[in-house]
Amino acid sequence: MDERDEMDRLRADEIADELAIRKEERRMAREERDLEREMKEFGEAEERAEKQIEEEWRREHWGREPERAPVWRSDGERSG
């Protein structure tokens, strides 16, 4: 194999490596977007669940707040 063939092979390997890196970067960016969307959906579902629980507690306590606030109220403030 002469020097030119070796250079062509090395250049082809370099191009293949660059393409593989770009492909992996696109896959990781797609995965990041998917995870961000799932986290947003999870947060929204969590908020809905908390509101539903609080509404159920108020119904069970005839429209009044229960004596103890839910765990997720970090400031201990009661919502109305």
**DSSP letters for 12-64:** HHHHHHHHHHHHHHHHHHHHHHHHHHHHHHHHHHHHHHHHHHHHHHHHHTTTS
State the average pLDDT for the chain: 88
2-11 pLDDT, tens digit each: 999 999 999 9
Would you say residue 21 has pLDDT above 80?
yes
* Confidence (pTM): 0.61
